[in-house]
Structure 1
């Protein structure tokens, strides 16, 4: 029941923007946000074992860029269920031809889009509304000993966060002092899956 995006690359991109179909009538709508067989057809065959749900009260709250290192890496399937966010994935796979490059998409309660972010990518988002709620599925549970991050404003990555010039986002104390990409010795190998523009 899920209408998936078609991909421009010959191979399926590592990071995928997914467009679940909504079936609506006078009552509202219904959508199937996850189906193991449908996702497997896209090459997403991980097993999700944890669901997370966050609330970010102020507009321009920024969370990221986060990842867990092997052997506790996490594939993530992210969606926004209230408000809107700009969701980002950064390639941190050693040897990848797109190492340090990023892709991003707006996810909102209105559009229903989801972003699949596999192991080997740092993840972050900034909220575009007040009181945003985000849910995401993970393929491993939280492991503080494997918790890692990269600075959200690293100029070597150059993420174009959609915030007015001069805006200082709301950050956690941890995210304000994350390491730069240049100081990061990646434990993630390149697996041959390309990072392509999001469809």
Structure 2
């Protein structure tokens, strides 16, 4: 029995994963990860790291983060509490969708996850107060391989649905794109 429904998104490799709940009057069980079932969606690595984030205030923006090769990572982003607009940007050099972004609402209620392949930047805006996200990563975070783009870069033109109420100083100072940025070579 499959526990996931996988939907292809317009950016190649980017997918939405819907988790199926098995429930009864006591509650439910929801499988968060299954290597065998998610291999069909492109997850080919073991889970190297799991992270939990909590964001308290509606309208907060975090991102747009990625890791440079050879530490590029695949992520499975799950919303456990609240709701977010989850955004992924294609940074793959030579990709026909280079610098295009895709946004999907993830929430505790809709049980949708975003499967983000290597070579994408990731960020989100909280649509409710008190949001928790659970991330599965294909590789361990390497501080020296961190990369980021400005979530406010007019060249990306990300349509944040709410007024931005908070953003860390670090995220606010991420660089804007220049013509010298030709993408990530994976």
CA contact (8 A) 1:48 1:137 kept: yes
Aligned to 1:4: 5
Say if 1:141 and 1:186 are closer, same or farther in 2 by CA, change over 3 A. farther
Give yes or no for the alignment of 1:175 onto 2:171.
Answer: yes
Q: Classify the secondary structure of the residue corresponding to 2:169.
A: coil
Aligned to 2:91: 92
**How far does the alpha carbon of each residue in 1:152-197 deviate from its partner, in whole angstroms, 9 at most, with x for none?**
011111111111xxx233111111011112256345237xxxxxxx
Please say which of residues 181-190 and 86-95 is displaced more in the overlay. Answer: 181-190
**How far does the alpha carbon of each residue in 1:18-56 deviate from its partner, in whole angstroms, 9 at most, with x for none?**
011111211121111211110112222122210000111
CA shift, 1:3, in A, is 2.9
Distance across 2 between alignment mates of 1:41 and 1:141: 22
Give yes or no for the alignment of 1:29 onto 2:28.
Answer: yes
TM-score, structure 2 normalization: 0.92
Higher strand share: 2
Distance across 2 between alignment mates of 1:142 and 1:67: 10
Alignment RMSD (CA, Å): 1.8
Give yes or no for the alignment of 1:122 onto 2:118.
Answer: no
Q: Which runs of 5+ in 1 are unaligned?
A: 191-199
Q: Classify the secondary structure of the residue corresponding to 1:148.
A: strand
Say if 1:109 and 1:122 are closer, same or farther in 2 by CA, change over 3 A. same
CA contact (8 A) 2:57 2:165 kept: no
TM-score, structure 1 normalization: 0.86
Aligned to 2:13: 14
CA contact (8 A) 1:2 1:33 kept: no
User: Where does 1:29-108 land on structure 2 (aligned, <5 Å)?
Assistant: 29-108=28-107
Give yes or no for the alignment of 1:141 onto 2:140.
Answer: yes
Distance across 2 between alignment mates of 1:169 and 1:150: 19
Q: Matched residue pairs, number?
A: 185
